[in-house]
Structure 1
Amino acid sequence: MFCRAWGYEELTADPRWEYGLPPRMESELAWIQHALSHLKPGGTAVVLMPPAVAGRRSGRRIRAQLIRRGALSAVITLPLGSIPNMAVALTLWVLRRPQDSGTPGHVLMVDTSDRPEDFARVAADAWERFEAGADADEPGVELLDDDVDLTPARYLAPPPADLSPERVTGQRNRVADLLRRTAELVPAVGKVVSGVVFPL
């Protein structure tokens, strides 16, 4: 998603790396720190990230520092297809420039991957509750373990299956529509026998 040739050799002493020198193959963590460096204390930035950044071993020290110093406010998993032309479900990292140094912050974890029809509302509602002081996960034992894996699904209980008649009917109708459209896209198929095509 991000360019791997991001200038690692030329920028090793850059003052933007407050949370650690980004590893050569972790350009995303360079962009995270670049965004933070442009914020005033208390300012917020939202960065679209590939999901692998949340758990790559090479970036765990920087992820830990982002949590310990209160610079990471939320990680929100988006549904597959919410961003056009992307083959993976991306995540939003909500960053906030700490007002003071060394103050661990709460981290909101949201997974909207199973809510493609209303993911934006689900994420916005979760953020509003978080800002009001609810739904905060402590940056303690779980987030700051050896991996510092920031994948929301790792910390959230799976939602209960919605088997309401309306949802089942809606899913059935979507599948039936998909099958109908697929049939319209497939040309008439013939049966080949001894080199001669016979219509089915």
Structure 2
Amino acid sequence: MSADAAAPSVRVLLCDDHAVVRAGLRALLASAPGIEVVAEAGSGEEALARVAALGPGGLDLVLMDLQLGAGLDGTETTRRLTALPGGPRVLVLTTYDTDADITRAVEAGATGYLLKAEQPDDLFHAIRTAAEGRTALSPPVAGRLMARMRAPRPALTDRESDILRQLARGLGNRDIARALFISEATVKTHLGRIYAKLGVETRSGAVAMAKEQRLLP
């Protein structure tokens, strides 16, 4: 018997809110040597319960979708799973490839990020790679991460940073003006400049982009 054949299987939990998708993945992974689907979950809460029931070390990897309907999303579920003592690795498998989705998943502790358009053999390889604790990324995802690392962060003035911090607290223009001892007109002027620098059009968009760009403490 070869060393590969003797190696223990990678124990996987499937987390996707679509039963048909889980069934398809289970059937697909059944054809992959060295990979065993031991549980599945249709929500983030169910995934956490399944992992808890299996106990520390009872699972090697969770194959995680990002959009899970109501309740915990894939990113928050990933954060909670990877914080568990002896918890499993998490490999994101999703159709979403925006910079924000990728960044949040990686920061939450995901070992890899794969797109559902990948070929089966690439999925099998990524599962084994991620289970070993090594990074597994779809080529488009790796390209996006590299581009983000090369791109300089927007340069905000001290006053713009002050306003952005107040914005993140949920304050309106009037309250920001009072907090910083400036006029509402000045706040609006600075907000226009902040939006332009961050490439957004809304207050919530500015806060989300600022967090993504690590412009907020």
TM-score by length of 2: 0.30
Which structure has greater helix proportion?
2
The one of the two structures with greater contact order (alpha-carbon pairs below 8 A, sep at least 6) is 1
TM-score calculated relative to the size of structure 1: 0.32
